[in-house]
Amino acid sequence: MAQNAKVTVHPAYKVGEISERLFSAFLEPIGTMVNGTMFNPKHPTADEQGFRRDFIDALKKTKVPAVRLPGGNFVSAWQWKDSIGPRDQRKVHLDPAWHQYILNDVGHDEYLQWAEKVGTEPLYTVNMGTGTIQDAMDLVEYTNQAGGTYWSDLRKKNGHEDPYDVKMWYLGNEMDGPWQLGSWDKNPEGYGHKVLETSKAIKWIDETIETGVCGSSAPFMEGFPAWDEAVLDKCYDVVDYVSVHHYHTAAPGDTKALLGGSLYYEDFINTEIAMIDYVASKHRSPKQVMLSFDEYGAMQRPLQELHPGYGRYNMARNHYRFDPERRYILHDPDNMPERQFPGGDMINALSMASIQLALLRHADRVKIGCMTGGLPALAASNHDHVWRAASHYVFMQLMKYAKGVALDAKVESETYDMPGYAIEDTSQYTGKEGVNYIDAASAWDEENNRLAVFVINRNEESDYPLTVDLKGFEGYKPTGAYKLHTNDLELKNTYENDELLMPEEEKDYTFENGEFKLYVKPLSWNVYVFEKE
């Protein structure tokens, strides 16, 4: 039996307001996400635009607040003007970022109209690789201007009378990445100046919008965080967010490193916040730029061969290779390969939830969070069906209960050490000492007198006797306790049974003198809700 663990929450431990956009998703036309899942004109549920209504209906029920679209690396050479109007007149292009054909069956209007059908806010990414300032201006005018101009009237002609009123615009994607078309890896000041002029121009077209500038694509980037600083120093006064991405990786079976990966996210966030505030001080600016963590994920991947002396900072060299045998892929939405990930639902749900808790703990500055696998997490799918994986239930509980303000949940528990490791040359992790087995975050909806505490047990073997100290919340009592746990880590929900893994009510607890006590299962997700009468 493990030693007692304790989580203390108090109304004085406020971190910051929780944005509705914090639990959002990301969409890009690679793999089956667009071609096959979102769009398949041959699917039995396809609507008049070719969208799968089963997928739309499933997402609509979740009320996912926002989706970043249409990419991703895809947008670095995408010509949006060739994706509008009658489909049979649209231009087909090559997508060098992903070595695929872009048929533009799903174009600018379709992405935004799909978002309308789902009932989610589109967060739009602009081509700042091969795209120009004028392209971005025309795009915003086409999208948001009511009428009376060439581009806005063309939108009406193309079938959408009202403006889409898109509020959030990302100016590029991973612009420090040599894998991008038009990368600014070697010239951050140039990119920062382009963002300055682009953001200024599109805000003069629609002064209600917000814009985001790209920060580092990962904490492993050679220029991090100096690249970010150089960019932001050029455009601080005209942007609202810094956009960052990270994908945490651990070796198969190394669950401690996988679930401890949220600490690297926090390191990344803390560094970016310090960089932003340093630039603000240089500009003598009272403005506070926020963070958008709009691509993130966690995965298990075998350790790769390392090349001593080749170094960890060789992303550019790795992406300046040319394979004469490589061919462009033409995707058929009705004949897409199924993607099968190893292992069951539980570890994947926990690894993603651990990152979401890290974002929640920084809700004062992280205002947008778009899980890369957020749409399949909410609505898993294959060629024929849609169902709820275990991640669906976790995501839904966060959207439901993480309201109001984030609180700093003080954790006391047994700890473990994570030795440093390298997945490959560019993904190298320093070790971490004293990692709590209990991972926690909290949200207080003061207006509705509701407190939620979220707990992950990272321990693979032991139940934990856990105390949640609520003495500062006088009059609050438990109104709901839920746990998600399985002894079979290979278990997966399916279309035939998507309730194999779902939270169940926890009834075996005590509550006395402001202390909520119970045992938490190993490798489990737990939610405790308290309300004031």
- By CB atoms closer than 10 A (0-12, 13-18, 19+), residue 441 is buried
**Residue 295 annotated in active site:** yes
Give the H or E element holding residue 293. Answer: strand 290-300
**Alpha helices per DSSP H over 314-422:** 315-319, 345-361, 374-378, 390-401
Q: Are 213 and 253 in contact (CB under 8 A)?
A: no
Q: Report the alpha-carbon distance of residue 18 to residue 263 in Å, rounded.
A: 20
Range 141-157 burial, b when 16+ CB lie within 10 A, else e: bbbbbeeeeebbeebee
Determine which one of 28, 174, 210, 229 is catalytic: 174
> CA angle at residue 417 from 440 to 439, to 5 degrees?
5
Q: Are 74 and 97 in contact (CB under 8 A)?
A: yes
Give the H or E element holding residue 204. Answer: helix 188-205
Q: Report the alpha-carbon distance of residue 389 to residue 345 in Å, rounded.
A: 7
**Residue 174 annotated in active site:** yes
Determine which one of 210, 229, 295, 506 is catalytic: 295
Q: Are 371 and 64 in contact (CB under 8 A)?
A: no
Backbone angles phi, psi at 315, to 5 degrees: -60, -40
Strands in 165-228 per DSSP E: 168-171, 210-214
Token code pair at residue 245: 């991405």
Catalytic residue numbers read 174, 295
